[in-house]
Chains A and B, each alone.
Chain A
Amino acid sequence: MKEKKFEPVIVGFFCNWCTSAAADLAGTSRLHYPPNIRPIRVMCSSTVDPVYMIRALQEGADATILGGCHPGDCHYITGNYKARRRIAIVKTVLKSLEFDDDRVLLEWISGSEGPKFARVMNEYTEYIRNKGPSDFKYLDSLGGEEVE
Chain B
Amino acid sequence: MAMKRIGVFICHCGRNIAGTVDVKRVAEEIGKREDVAFSTTYVFMCSQPGQKLIEDSIKKYNLDGVVVANCSPTLHERTMRNAAARAGLNPYRVEIANIREWAAWPHEDNPEAATRKAIRIINATIEKLKANASLHPIEVPVVKRALVIGGGVAGMQAALDLADAGIETVVVEKNPSLGGNMIRLSETFPTLDCPQCILTPKMNDVGGHPNIKLYTYSEVEEVDGYLGNFTVKIKRKSPFIDWNKCTGCGECAKVCPTVLPSDFDLGMATRKATHIPFEQAVPFKYTITYNGVPPCNAACPLHLNAQGYVAAAKAGRFDRSIDVVWERLPFAGIAGRICTHPCETACSRGDIDKPVGIREIKRFVADWAVKNGRKYILRVKEEKGKKVAIIGAGAAGLMAAHDLREMGYDVTVYDKLPVVGGMLAVGIPPYRLPQEVIDYEVQPLKDAGVKFVLNYEVNDKNFGEIVEKYDAVILAIGTHKERHLGIPGEDKAMHALEFLKKVNLGEKVNIEGKRVVVIGGGNSAVDAARTALRLGADVTIAYRRTRDEMPAIPEEIVDAEEEGVKFEFLVSPAEIMDGKIKMEKMRLGEKDATGRRKPIPTGEFVEIPADIVILAVGEVPDASWAEKLGIKTERNRIKVNEYMQTSIPKVFAAGDAVTGAWDWVHAAAYGRWAAKNVANMLEGEPMEEVRIEMSSNLRGYKELAYPAKRHETMKLSMEERKTTFKEFNLGYSEEDVVDEAKRCLGCGGCAKCGLCVEVCDVKAIDLQMKDWYVEEKVGSIIVATGYEVMPAEAFPELGGKYPDVITSLQFERLLAPSGPTAGIPRRPSDGKIPESIAFVHCVGSRDPQNGVPYCSRICCMYTIKQAMLVKHAMPDIAVYDFYIDIRSNGKGYEEFYHRAKEEYGVNFIRGKVSKVYKVGDKYRVQGVDTLTGRIVEVDVDMVVLATAAKGSSTVKQLAKKLRIPYDEWGWLKETHLKLKPLETPVGGVFIAGAAQFIKDITDSVSQGSGAAAKAMAILSKPQLEKEPLLARVDTEICAGCGRCKDQCAYGAISIDPVRHVAVVNEALCEGCGACSANCPTTAIQVVNFKKSQVIRAVDVLAEVF
B1077 and A47 contacting across the interface, CB-CB below 8 Å: yes
**Are A72 and B120 closer than 8 Å at their CB atoms?**
no
Expressed in whole angstroms, the Cα–Cα distance for A84 and B1077 within the complex equals 13
The reply to whether B1047 and A82 form a contact with Cβ atoms under 8 Å apart is yes
B-facing mask of A8-43, CB < 8 A → 1, else 0?
010100000110010110111011110100111111
Check: A1 CB closer than 8 A to any chain B CB. Answer: no
Contact among B106, B965, B1078 with A112 in the assembled complex (CB-CB below 8 Å): B965
- B1072 touches A (CB below 8 Å): yes
A91-126, CB < 8 A from B: 110-112, 118
A48 at the binding interface (Cβ < 8 Å) = yes
Contact across chains for A43 and B1098 when beta carbons are under 8 A apart: no
In contact, A55 and B1095 (Cβ under 8 angstroms): yes
Interface residues on chain B, size class: 35 or more
Instruction: Please name all residues of chain A whose beta carbon is closer than 8 Å to the beta carbon of B1078 when the two chains form the complex.
Output: 82
B1102 interface residue (CB < 8 Å to A):
yes
Interchain CB contact under 8 A, B101 and A47: no
Q: How far apart are A76's CB and chain B's nearest CB, in angstroms?
A: 4
Q: Chain A residues with Cβ under 8 A from B108's Cβ?
A: 30, 32
Whether the Cβ atoms of A75 and B985 lie closer than 8 Å is yes
B753 within 8 Å of A (CB atoms): no
Say if the beta carbon of B1076 comes within 8 Å of chain A. Answer: yes
**When chains A and B are docked, how far (Å) is the Cα of A73 from the Cα of B965?**
8
**Which segment, of B111-119, B335-343, B589-597, faces chain A?**
B111-119
Q: Which residues of B contact A39 (CB under 8 A)?
A: 102, 121, 1101
Closest to B96 in A: A41
Q: Is B34 an interface residue (CB 8 A)?
A: no
With contact pairs A38-B1102, A61-B1102 given, residues A31 and B106 touching in the complex (Cβ less than 8 Å): yes
Which A residues are in CB contact (< 8 Å) with B1072? 43-44, 46-47, 75-76, 79
In the docked arrangement, what's the CA distance between A147 and B1097, Å?
Answer: 11
A38 with B105, Cβ < 8 A, contacts A43-B1089, A112-B966 known? no
Q: Is there contact, CB below 8 Å, between A60 and B74?
A: no
Interchain CB contact (< 8 A) of B1077 among A27, A49, A72, A148? A49
- Contact A42–B1101 (Cβ < 8 Å): no
Q: How far is the CA of A82 from the CA of B1073 in the complex (A)?
A: 11
Q: Mark B1082-1105, 1 if CB is under 8 A from A, else 0.
A: 000010010110111111011110
Residues of B within 8 A of A57 (CB): 1102
Say yes or no for A74: interface residue by CB 8 A criterion: yes
- In the assembled complex, the CB of B966 is this many whole angstroms from the nearest CB of chain A, namely 7
A32 to chain B, nearest CB (A): 6
Residue of B with least CB distance to A47 = B1073
B1043-1098: which have CB < 8 Å to A? 1047, 1049-1050, 1070-1074, 1076-1078, 1086, 1089, 1091-1092, 1094-1098
A23 in complex: contacting residue of B101, B117, B1103, CB < 8 Å: B101
Task: Decide if B629 is an interface residue (CB 8 Å cutoff).
Answer: no
Q: Which has the most chain B C-beta neighbours within 10 Å: A27, A79, A144?
A: A27
Q: Indicate if A77 sits at the interface (CB-CB under 8 A).
A: yes
Instruction: Return the chain A residue nearest B1103 by Cβ.
Output: A60
For A72, list chain B residues within 8 Å (CB).
960
In the complex, what residue of chain B is closest to A14 when comparing beta carbons? B102
Give the A interface residue count (CB, 8 A).
54
Known contacts being A9-B1104, A59-B1099, is A112 close to B102, with CB within 8 Å? no
Q: Which of B103, B107, B1092, B1098 contacts A11 (CB 8 A)?
A: B1098
Q: Which residues of chain B have C-beta atoms less than 8 A from A27's C-beta? A: 72, 100-102, 104-106
Report Cα–Cα, A57/B107, bound state, in Å. Answer: 24
- Would you give the shortest CB distance from B25 to chain A, in whole angstroms? 16
With contacts A38-B1101, A60-B1102, A79-B1049 taken as known, whether A147 is within 8 angstroms of B1077 at the C-beta atoms is no
How far is A56 from B1100 in the complex, measured between Cα atoms in Å?
Answer: 9
* A11-B1102, A23-B102, A61-B1101 known; A147+B1095 contact, CB < 8 A: yes
User: A52: CB under 8 A from chain B?
Assistant: yes
User: Are A49 and B121 within 8 A (Cβ)?
Assistant: no
C-alpha gap A49/B1098 in the complex (Å): 12
Q: How far is the CB of B225 from chain A (nearest CB, A)?
A: 12
A130: Cβ under 8 A from any B Cβ: no
- B873-912: contact bitstring with A at CB < 8 Å (1 yes, 0 no)? 0000000000000000000000000000000000000000
A148 to B109, CA, bound (A): 39
**A residues less than 8 Å from B1097 (CB atoms):** 40
CB atoms of A43 and B973 under 8 A apart: no
Distance in angstroms from A69 CB to nearest chain B CB is 8
- Is the CB–CB distance between B1073 and A43 below 8 Å? yes
Q: Is residue B830 within 8 Å, beta carbon to beta carbon, of the partner chain?
A: no
Residues of B within 8 A of A76 (CB): 1049, 1070, 1072, 1074
B1091 and A35 within 8 A (CB) = no
B1104 touches A78 (CB 8 A): no
Alpha-carbon distance between A43 and B967 when the two chains are bound, in angstroms? 21
Select from chain B the residue with minimum beta-carbon distance to A39.
Answer: B102
- Is B73 an interface position by the 8 A CB rule? yes
**B residues in contact with A26, CB < 8 Å:** 101, 106
Determine whether the beta carbon of A60 is less than 8 Å from that of B1074: no
Is the C-beta of A139 less than 8 angstroms from some C-beta in chain B?
no
| Cα A23 to Cα B71 with chains together (Å) | 12
**Cβ A28 vs Cβ B110 within 8 A:** no
B963 at interface by CB-CB < 8 Å: yes
Give Cα A56–Cα B534 distance, bound, in whole angstroms. Answer: 92
Query: Which residues of B are found within 8 Å of A21, using beta-carbon distances?
Result: 74, 965, 985
Judged by a CB distance under 8 angstroms, whether B565 is at the interface is: no
B1096 touches A147 (CB 8 A): yes
Q: How far is the CB of B1068 from chain A (nearest CB, A)?
A: 12
Residues of the B chain whose Cβ atoms lie less than 8 Å from the Cβ of A112: 965-968, 973
Provide the bound-state CA to CA distance between A81 and B56, in Å: 46
Cross-chain contact of A18 among B965, B1029, B1099, B1103 (Cβ < 8 A): B965
Contact A43 B1071 (CB under 8 A): yes
Given A32-B106, A38-B1102, A55-B1099, also A46-B1074 (CB < 8 A): yes
Q: How far is the CB of B466 from chain A (nearest CB, A)?
A: 59
Structural contact, B1098 and A40, CB atoms closer than 8 A: yes
Which residues on B sit within 8 Å (CB–CB) of A129? none
Chain A residues lying within 8 Å of B124, measured Cβ to Cβ, are 38, 40
| Given A9-B1104, A40-B124, A43-B1089, A118-B106 contact (CB < 8 Å) | yes
Docked pose: A41 CA to B760 CA in angstroms: 63
Q: Which residues of A contact B72 (CB under 8 A)?
A: 24, 27
In the assembly, what is the distance between CA of A57 and CA of B1072, in Å? 24
Known: A38-B120, A60-B1103, A82-B1047. A111 touches B973 (CB 8 A): yes
B968 to chain A, nearest CB (A): 8
Residues A60 and B1104 in contact, CB atoms below 8 Å apart = yes
| B936 within 8 A of partner (CB) | no
Q: B116, B117, B967, B1074 — which one has the most chain A CB atoms within 10 A of its CB?
A: B1074
A41 to chain B, nearest CB (A): 7
Query: Are B1049 and A51 closer than 8 Å at their CB atoms?
Result: no
Contact B1076 A11 (CB under 8 A): no
Closest residue of chain B to A49, judged by CB? Answer: B1077
In the docked arrangement, what's the CA distance between A25 and B1070, Å? Answer: 25
Q: Which residue of A lies closest to B73 (CB)?
A: A41
Any A CB within 8 A of the CB of B692: no
List the A side residues contacting B120 at CB < 8 Å: 38
Q: Measured between alpha carbons, how far is A76 from B1030 in the docked complex, in Å? A: 13
B residues adjacent to A (C-beta < 8 A): 72-74, 98, 100-110, 113-114, 116-117, 120-121, 124, 959-960, 963, 965-968, 973, 985-986, 1029, 1047, 1049-1050, 1070-1074, 1076-1078, 1086, 1089, 1091-1092, 1094-1099, 1101-1104
Given A38-B117, A75-B1072, 13 more A-B residue pairs with CB atoms under 8 Å apart are: A17-B985, A30-B105, A38-B1101, A40-B1101, A43-B1071, A55-B1095, A56-B1101, A74-B963, A75-B985, A79-B1072, A79-B1074, A112-B966, A147-B1099
Closest 10 CB pairs of A and B: A47-B1073, A27-B101, A46-B1074, A35-B113, A76-B1072, A59-B1102, A27-B105, A44-B1072, A61-B1102, A77-B1049
Give me 9 A-to-B residue pairs in the complex whose CB atoms sit less than 8 angstroms apart, sorted by A's number.
A21-B985, A27-B105, A32-B109, A47-B1074, A49-B1094, A51-B1091, A75-B986, A76-B1070, A147-B1092
